[in-house]
Amino acid sequence: MKKVFHFETRRESYSCDAVVLWCFDNRFHLPFSKFLKRLGIINPDPIKIAGGAKSLSSPAQETEREFILDQIRTSMRLHQTRRAILMLHSDCGGYGGLAGGFDNDPSREANHHENELKRAMACLQERIPEIEVQAYFVDFDGVWEVELASPTTRTQAGS
pLDDT at position 83 over 50: yes
Q: Measure CA of the first residue to CA of the last residue in the chain; give whole Å.
A: 68
Residue 112, helix vs strand vs coil: helix
Three-state SS string across 13-71, please? Answer: CCCCCEEEEECCCHHHHHHHHHHHHHCCCCCEEEEECCCCCHHHHCCCCHHHHHHHHHH
Q: What is the mean pLDDT of residues 58-71?
A: 97
Q: What is the mean pLDDT of residues 56-70?
A: 97
- What ranges do the domains of the chain cover? 18-158
Q: What is the mean pLDDT of residues 44-61?
A: 96
Name the superfamily (CATH) of residues 18-158. Answer: Carbonic anhydrase (3.40.1050.10)
pLDDT at position 157 over 70: no
As a whole number of angstroms, the distance between CA 151 and CA 159 comes to 12
Q: What is the mean pLDDT of residues 79-90?
A: 97
Task: Convert the pLDDT of each residue in 93-117 to its tens digit.
Answer: 999 999 999 999 999 999 999 999 9
